Amino acid sequence: MGPGETFIALIGGLTIIGYLFFTARHRERMSMIDKGVNSSLFLSKEKGSLRLTLKLGMLAIGVSLGIITGILLRESFDRMNDGIVLAAILLFGGISLIVNFLIERKMDEDAKKDAE
């Protein structure tokens, strides 16, 4: 499987996962509304949406750095195959999520200090 086919399979898989997630969430919410649950549970808090934006932004930066690094490594060393690009993407994406976790933990600690 070449890099183009891998990319297409990755995008297709992410699309299917996203579709299944949103349809399951929609069904769950509709069943809760049918049972008479207060709809204010569905409203996102601004704090949570800001954190999601931060997480997605950091993940996008990490994946982009992984793509660039993987391509540079593949071009620099002729013996490396296309798997190095995928490995670099996963490595930098994971690092960005760990850094995001540390930032969010620091934000929580600061919020607790401000509340006291």
* 22 plus 38 within the same structural domain: yes
In a domain, residue 116? The reply is no
What CA–CA distance (Å, rounded) separates 91 from 65? 10
Q: From the first residue on, what is the mean pLDDT of each consecutive set of 10 residues in the chain (116 residues)? A: 78 92 90 81 64 88 91 80 85 93 89 79
In order of 6, 9, 64, 69, 98, the CA distances from 59 in angstroms are: 19, 19, 8, 15, 10
Give the count of domains, the chain. 2
Q: What is the pTM of this model?
A: 0.57
Q: Pick the last residue of a domain from 42, 58, 73.
A: 42
* 30 plus 51 within the same structural domain: no
In order of 20, 83, 110, 113, the CA distances from 103 in angstroms are: 30, 30, 11, 15
* 90 plus 102 within the same structural domain: yes
* 31 plus 55 within the same structural domain: no
80 is in which domain, residue-wise? 44-110
